[in-house]
Amino acid sequence: MSSHAEGSHDASHHHDDSHSPAHYVKIWAVLLVLLGVSLAGPEIGIRWVTLITAFGIAVVKAFLVIKHFMHLTVERKVAQYAIGACFMLMLLFFFAVAPDVMKHWGVNWHNEAASNMKREIERSEHHAPAADQAHAPADGAGHPEASAPAAATH
Amino acid sequence: MMRPIATTRSATGIPTGRLAVWWVIASEIVIFGGLLGGYLLHRFGHPEWATAAAHTNTMAGGFNTFVLLTSSLSAVLAHAAAEKGEGPKAAKYLGLTMLGGLVFLIVKSFEWTYEISHGYTITANTFWSFYYTAAGLHGFHVIAGMVIMGFVAADAMKNRELQRVELIGIYWHFVDLVWIFLFPLLYIAK
Amino acid sequence: MAESPSHAHDGHAHAGHGAHDGHGGHHEESWFVHYFWSTDHKMIAKQYLVTGMLMGVIGAYFAYVFRMQLAFPGKPVPGYGLVTGADYNALVTNHGAIMIFWVAMPVLIAAFGNYLIPLMIGCDDMVFPRINRLSYQIFAISAVLVVASFFVQGGAFGGAWTAYPPLSAKAEYSLTPAGSSLWLIAVALEFVAFLLGGINFVTTAMNSRAPGMKAFDIPIAVWMIVIASILFMASVGPLIAGALMLLFDQMIGTGFFDPDRGGDPILWQHLFWFFGHPEVYVVLLPAMGFVAEIITTFSRKKMFAYKTVLATTFATGLLSFFVWAHHQFIAGIDPRMANVFSVTTVLISVPIAEMCFVYIATLYGGSITFSVPMLWALAFIAEFLLGGVTGIYLGSSGADIYFHDTYFVVAHFHYTFFPIAIIGSFAGMTYWYPKMFGTFMNEAWNKLHFWVTIIGFNGIFLPLFITGASGDHRRIFDYTNFPELDTPELQSLRVLATVSLLVMLVIQPVFLINFFYSMFRGKKAGANPWKANTLEWQAASPPPHGNFPTLPEVYRGPYEFSVPGRDEDYWPQNSPN
């Protein structure tokens, strides 16, 4: 990518800073640093740190792209509202459906099938050899377990 | 075909093409939102999916994130060039963006081949179903973006329709945004 | 150059109208390009209209068959044969899906939106004419697919238009492996077509207005179609995601909605209804827009409270996203959420009622002409009110425990959908017919058609409120299997409903013949036969390619009727003085 070299040439042109190639390259560099942090986060091993680095950084990255690459923050309001409204709708969808789909038990009911998923997952692990990826699985996914048949519902 | 006069008007102040692209993005937000929302609902409810999620290739995912972020950079550089009226330069940057998309798809195809050959198929369990569906829908949008970008670049090379460089760029940034969220969802949250 | 007023339908073109057989446009178009490859919004509108009308005939035929089965169970239906349980399910499923997705939406939104928006805002076409053409083509393919689903092995999908899994996900339950997937793909393609169309409509209406047309000078019909398009675009996404997931469940064996595999069938319901509820407002709003145009024109009065109509429309549109789970009260959702949705559902009746009140206030004191469009518009208000108030019973979750899945629901939504899709369409068609084709329809035949249709319609669904409240469950193909429902009283009501349907169906060919015949032999209409103010009436009838020889400028709002001090009781938007 020759963008690096290009950027320093164009920075002197008449565009205000926020539209200059040099500015874009700077933002890109920040994005890459953030990517690195989010990759490093899980290495620390603390679950909350991982989640914050992974998703918090995703939000920050998204904001950077939206603001500096898509220029949504300087766009006419109508476009901002349209995008914002659709995002809000997704939050509405998630939080309104969560009581039904996310939870698997209530005062008077228990989703048996969902509990059986755990066994299902572990059973399907038998088809795959032990993990040989960069990350070792958090819990011992490869250890053999009596492959109990999934709860019969048919 | 003559462009209608309608296309040249702009009562909102936003050029017609860009206004349309924002509406496209808005409708895509709810498509991916529905899919990712559905995934999240299941994921929160099934902590044991972490076992399955452990097998995603974080390095491949991370590398692909780097590729897409860089392709977003080249897309916005194309826009900067187009704003200055430099069509062939914008086309060159768009070409780099398309190349980024291609690298993304190639890495993904290696990734998936490995996973499938190890039994992590789309029907293995519902985590993998969501994994392939979400990443697949995203990949479909990458391909569609590359195709459209090709047409825009071809025009830009001849210094024509330069305003479309920004438009396809906005779409491409959105595709990048979806991946920015897909990456932690599928690769980091284990 | 006048555009030929005739148009093709389902494959064969009519010859051009005797007097003007020219092809419009800057260049000579071949016959094929003119009718099948046009990018002109008016031609695309007519393509949608004709396709929608044809699909309406198919949907009505299905209703005929299954209502005959209900009235005379076990007897072969003339023009069909014996109706099995599987047949019945496929007929009911596709009647619903076709009427909503392939009749209401293409006629109300795609046909009238395409036709009216550029004309009413004073420009020459949509901003993306080729995408417009593409959207119709995708739509046409989707229509072909859904009809084709009846001819594949296993037959058409019979899992209800709501397609709940696991019935819809597993071929071992639905018994229609090919039909299920074809149906789903058809629906998905229809969504894509309307997304493309919607972007065109919204962008055009937002950007391409005539100089001088400020926001509150925009005719209500345009506002309504645009807001409906926005509602559609914002709500269909989750269902597209869900359709993809369901398709994978059907075709490759994933378990998105299978509890044994970690999925959840309730997720489908939520994905479906999150769209499904705004969808009914997507079709309602354009119909209300047509009524607004008609009642102002035929009472020679301005809209009683234009801004209130807009405000209530925004409120309705916004609220429509917060009510969806009232379709799921007894599906096993969290009862606390049922409380919330009950409140929002009853609340949404307020802005819609307000809109109806504004319409009635508009009529009050007006100089009313009972033209055919006005008759349809008045019928819309009356019938829709009935549909709306019965919705209150259903929106109250306690009452819904009893009413859910009974014919009370069926009657309720037909008292809303029928005014929307059928009355609204007839209102629009009879009102804008002179503009589209340059001639008048025969008024006497139209009035006959109106009265028989309305009487027939009420005869179908009033009895069904009663049978529903008496316990008639939906989606039952033979009530003789249910001893407590197999009573002479209830059966006579079912027969009454069917006979009324037959009456209503018998009169429809009168309209169709009138519609097509009048194109060639109807009395000539001028540009502005109703003396209305909106810009489409200031163009020729029918408008040429490019619509206006000189694009208009706008000086006032759309409803300046009976302005004191003027000779005429109307004041077109583009008249300088």
Closest CA to C379 of C294, C436, C310, C444: C294
Rg (CA), chain C: 23
Q: Is A34 on the interface with B (CB under 8 A)?
A: no
- pLDDT tens for residues C34-85? 888 999 999 999 999 999 999 999 999 999 999 999 999 999 999 999 999 9
Would you say residue C566 lies in a domain? no
> What percent of chain C has a predicted confidence (pLDDT) above 70?
95
Q: Is C237 on the interface with B (CB under 8 A)?
A: yes
Q: Which two tokens stand for residue B190?
A: 């284990």
Residue B154 C-alpha, separation from nearest chain A C-alpha, in angstroms: 20
Q: How far is CA C291 from the centre of its chain?
A: 14
Please report the residues numbered 47 through 86 in chain C whose beta carbons come closer than 8 angstroms to any beta carbon of chain B: none
- pLDDT tens for residues C525-553? 999 999 999 999 999 999 999 999 999 99
Instruction: Give the integer Cα–Cα distance in Å for C289 and C287.
Output: 5
The mean per-residue pLDDT over the stretch C173-183 comes to 96
Please count the CA atoms within 13 angstroms of the CA of C340 that sit on its side-chain side. Answer: 16
Q: At C156, phi and psi to the nearest 5?
A: -80, 155
Q: Do A100 and C337 touch (CB under 8 A)?
A: yes
**What is the number of CB-based contacts under 8 A between chain B and chain C?**
140
Angle, CA of C98, C99 and C101, to the nearest 5°:
60
Q: Is C385 on the interface with B (CB under 8 A)?
A: no
Give yes or no for residue C384 having a pLDDT over 50. Answer: yes
Q: Do C514 and C521 meet the contact criterion of CB atoms below 8 Å apart?
A: no
For chain B, the farthest-separated pair of C-alpha atoms sits apart, in whole angstroms, at 59
Q: Which two tokens stand for residue C179?
A: 């039909």
Would you say residue C3 lies in a domain? no
Question: How high does pLDDT run on average in chain C?
Answer: 93
The mean per-residue pLDDT over the stretch C18-27 comes to 43
Q: Do C351 and C315 meet the contact criterion of CB atoms below 8 Å apart?
A: yes
Number of Cβ within a 10 Å radius of residue C224: 28
Instruction: Give the integer Cα–Cα distance in Å for C140 and C143.
Output: 5
Would you say residue C270 lies in a domain? yes
Q: Do A1 and B74 touch (CB under 8 A)?
A: yes
Give yes or no for residue C1 having a pLDDT over 80. Answer: no
Q: Do A62 and B181 touch (CB under 8 A)?
A: yes
Quick one: closest CA in C to A93, which residue? Answer: C274
Give yes or no for residue C33 having a pLDDT over 90. Answer: no
The mean per-residue pLDDT over the stretch C196-202 comes to 96
Residue B175 C-alpha, separation from nearest chain A C-alpha, in angstroms: 11
Give the domain ranges of chain B. Answer: 15-188
First vs last C-alpha separation in chain B: 53
CA separation, residue C506 to residues B90, C99, C418, C425, C496 (Å)? 63, 19, 17, 18, 15
> What percent of chain B has a predicted confidence (pLDDT) above 70?
98
Would you say residue C83 lies in a domain? yes
Residue C448 C-alpha, separation from nearest chain B C-alpha, in angstroms: 41
* Each residue's pLDDT expressed in tens, for chain A with a length of 154 residues: 443 443 334 444 444 677 889 999 999 999 999 999 988 888 887 888 888 888 899 999 999 999 999 999 999 999 999 999 999 999 999 999 998 888 888 888 888 877 777 666 666 666 554 444 433 334 333 333 333 333 333 3
Quick one: closest CA in A to B21, which residue? Answer: A79
pLDDT of residue A16: 61
Report which of residues B188 and B74 the model is more confident about. B74
Give the domain ranges of chain A. Answer: 3-74
Q: Which two tokens stand for residue C443?
A: 């008024």
DSSP per-residue letters across A118-138: HHHHHHHHTTSPSP-SSSPPS
Residue A19 C-alpha, separation from nearest chain B C-alpha, in angstroms: 7
Instruction: Give the integer Cα–Cα distance in Å for A34 and A37.
Output: 5
- pLDDT tens for residues C129-163? 999 999 999 999 999 999 999 999 999 999 999 99
Domains of chain C: total? 1
DSSP state for residue C16 in the 8-state scheme = P
Q: Which two tokens stand for residue A9?
A: 């040439």
The mean per-residue pLDDT over the stretch C503-518 comes to 97
Residue in C235, C260, C270 nearest the CB of A153: C260
Q: Which two tokens stand for residue B135?
A: 């990443």
Q: Do A87 and B42 touch (CB under 8 A)?
A: no
Give yes or no for residue C326 having a pLDDT over 50. Answer: yes
Burial class (CB in 10 A: 0-12, 13-18, 19+), C419: buried
Q: With the C-alpha atoms ordered C143, C147, C151, C152, is the resulting torsion angle positive or negative?
A: positive
Instruction: Give the integer Cα–Cα distance in Å for B140 and B143.
Output: 5
The mean per-residue pLDDT over the stretch C306-322 comes to 97
- pLDDT tens for residues B165-181? 999 999 999 999 999 99
pLDDT of residue A151: 37
Instruction: Give the integer Cα–Cα distance in Å for C203 and C201.
Output: 6
pLDDT of residue A132: 41
Please report the residues numbered 85 through 114 in chain A whose beta carbons come closer than 8 angstroms to any beta carbon of chain C: 85-86, 89, 92-93, 96-97, 99-101, 106, 109, 111, 113-114
First vs last C-alpha separation in chain A: 58
- Architecture of B15-188 per CATH? Up-down Bundle (1.20)
Q: Specify the 3-state DSSP secondary structure of C473.
A: strand
Q: Which two tokens stand for residue A85?
A: 């409204």
pLDDT of residue C436: 97
DSSP state for residue C324 in the 8-state scheme = G
Residue C425 belongs to domain spanning: 36-538
CA separation, residue C107 to residues C54, C429, C501 (Å)? 11, 9, 22
